[in-house]
Amino acid sequence: MNEATQEKITAALRALADKLGETGAHLWQVLIRQQHIAAVEGIVWVIVLAGMAILTHRWAKKCWNSSEDCDTEAALLWIASALSILGALLILTSVASWIINPEFGALSDLMEMFRATR
Protein backbone atom coordinates (compact mmCIF):
# COMPACT_ATOMS: atom_id res chain seq x y z
CA MET A 1 0.00 0.00 0.00
CA ASN A 2 1.48 3.32 -0.97
CA GLU A 3 1.82 6.30 1.34
CA ALA A 4 -0.98 8.34 -0.27
CA THR A 5 -3.45 5.48 0.23
CA GLN A 6 -2.39 5.06 3.85
CA GLU A 7 -2.92 8.77 4.46
CA LYS A 8 -6.39 8.62 2.91
CA ILE A 9 -7.35 5.64 5.06
CA THR A 10 -5.97 7.31 8.19
CA ALA A 11 -7.86 10.53 7.42
CA ALA A 12 -11.08 8.61 6.81
CA LEU A 13 -10.70 6.70 10.08
CA ARG A 14 -9.97 9.90 12.00
CA ALA A 15 -13.05 11.56 10.52
CA LEU A 16 -15.14 8.53 11.45
CA ALA A 17 -13.73 8.44 14.99
CA ASP A 18 -14.43 12.17 15.45
CA LYS A 19 -17.94 11.76 14.12
CA LEU A 20 -18.82 8.70 16.20
CA GLY A 21 -17.09 9.70 19.44
CA GLU A 22 -17.86 7.20 22.22
CA THR A 23 -20.08 5.21 19.88
CA GLY A 24 -16.99 4.42 17.78
CA ALA A 25 -15.41 2.40 20.59
CA HIS A 26 -18.59 0.38 20.98
CA LEU A 27 -18.85 -0.12 17.21
CA TRP A 28 -15.26 -1.38 17.11
CA GLN A 29 -15.97 -3.94 19.87
CA VAL A 30 -19.06 -5.11 17.99
CA LEU A 31 -17.02 -5.55 14.81
CA ILE A 32 -14.37 -7.55 16.71
CA ARG A 33 -17.04 -9.80 18.24
CA GLN A 34 -18.50 -10.29 14.78
CA GLN A 35 -15.16 -11.72 13.63
CA HIS A 36 -15.33 -14.31 16.39
CA ILE A 37 -18.90 -15.16 15.38
CA ALA A 38 -17.76 -15.56 11.77
CA ALA A 39 -15.00 -17.90 12.99
CA VAL A 40 -17.53 -20.09 14.83
CA GLU A 41 -19.76 -20.16 11.74
CA GLY A 42 -16.73 -21.15 9.67
CA ILE A 43 -15.88 -23.96 12.08
CA VAL A 44 -19.45 -25.28 11.80
CA TRP A 45 -19.13 -25.28 7.99
CA VAL A 46 -15.78 -27.07 8.20
CA ILE A 47 -17.37 -29.78 10.37
CA VAL A 48 -20.29 -30.13 7.94
CA LEU A 49 -17.99 -30.35 4.92
CA ALA A 50 -15.66 -32.80 6.67
CA GLY A 51 -18.68 -34.98 7.48
CA MET A 52 -19.80 -34.81 3.86
CA ALA A 53 -16.30 -35.76 2.72
CA ILE A 54 -16.23 -38.78 5.04
CA LEU A 55 -19.69 -39.95 4.00
CA THR A 56 -19.11 -39.55 0.27
CA HIS A 57 -15.72 -41.26 0.60
CA ARG A 58 -17.33 -44.25 2.36
CA TRP A 59 -20.14 -44.44 -0.20
CA ALA A 60 -17.67 -44.26 -3.06
CA LYS A 61 -15.50 -46.97 -1.52
CA LYS A 62 -18.53 -49.20 -0.89
CA CYS A 63 -19.79 -48.66 -4.44
CA TRP A 64 -16.32 -49.24 -5.93
CA ASN A 65 -15.88 -52.52 -4.03
CA SER A 66 -19.37 -53.83 -4.80
CA SER A 67 -20.11 -56.23 -7.61
CA GLU A 68 -22.54 -53.76 -9.15
CA ASP A 69 -21.51 -51.67 -12.11
CA CYS A 70 -21.46 -48.22 -10.54
CA ASP A 71 -18.16 -46.77 -11.69
CA THR A 72 -19.75 -43.48 -12.70
CA GLU A 73 -21.47 -43.06 -9.34
CA ALA A 74 -18.26 -43.92 -7.49
CA ALA A 75 -16.30 -41.38 -9.54
CA LEU A 76 -18.90 -38.69 -8.80
CA LEU A 77 -18.76 -39.52 -5.10
CA TRP A 78 -14.93 -39.29 -5.13
CA ILE A 79 -15.23 -35.88 -6.79
CA ALA A 80 -17.81 -34.75 -4.23
CA SER A 81 -15.51 -35.94 -1.44
CA ALA A 82 -12.52 -34.06 -2.89
CA LEU A 83 -14.57 -30.87 -3.34
CA SER A 84 -15.81 -31.10 0.25
CA ILE A 85 -12.23 -31.38 1.50
CA LEU A 86 -11.16 -28.45 -0.67
CA GLY A 87 -14.05 -26.32 0.60
CA ALA A 88 -13.22 -27.16 4.21
CA LEU A 89 -9.56 -26.20 3.69
CA LEU A 90 -10.51 -22.89 2.07
CA ILE A 91 -12.85 -22.04 4.94
CA LEU A 92 -10.17 -23.01 7.47
CA THR A 93 -7.85 -20.35 6.10
CA SER A 94 -10.49 -17.70 6.75
CA VAL A 95 -11.25 -19.12 10.20
CA ALA A 96 -7.57 -18.87 11.11
CA SER A 97 -7.53 -15.24 10.02
CA TRP A 98 -10.69 -14.43 11.99
CA ILE A 99 -9.25 -16.01 15.15
CA ILE A 100 -5.64 -14.83 14.90
CA ASN A 101 -6.25 -11.29 13.65
CA PRO A 102 -9.86 -10.20 14.19
CA GLU A 103 -8.85 -6.53 14.00
CA PHE A 104 -7.94 -6.91 10.33
CA GLY A 105 -11.32 -8.47 9.60
CA ALA A 106 -13.08 -5.72 11.54
CA LEU A 107 -11.15 -3.05 9.64
CA SER A 108 -11.97 -4.77 6.34
CA ASP A 109 -15.66 -4.84 7.26
CA LEU A 110 -15.51 -1.17 8.21
CA MET A 111 -13.88 -0.24 4.90
CA GLU A 112 -16.50 -2.30 3.06
CA MET A 113 -19.21 -0.32 4.87
CA PHE A 114 -17.56 2.91 3.67
CA ARG A 115 -17.52 1.64 0.09
CA ALA A 116 -21.16 0.59 0.28
CA THR A 117 -22.32 4.04 1.43
CA ARG A 118 -20.58 5.94 -1.35
Asked if 102 and 36 touch (Cβ cutoff 8 Å), the reply is yes
Full-model pTM: 0.72
CB 77 within 8 A of CB 54: no
- Residue 20 pLDDT grade (very low, low, confident, very high; cuts 50, 70, 90): confident
**What is the rounded CA–CA span in Å between residue 98 and residue 95?**
5
Residue 1 confidence class, pLDDT cut points 50, 70, 90: low
pLDDT digits (tens, 9 = 90+) for 52-90: 999 998 988 888 788 777 778 888 888 999 999 999 999
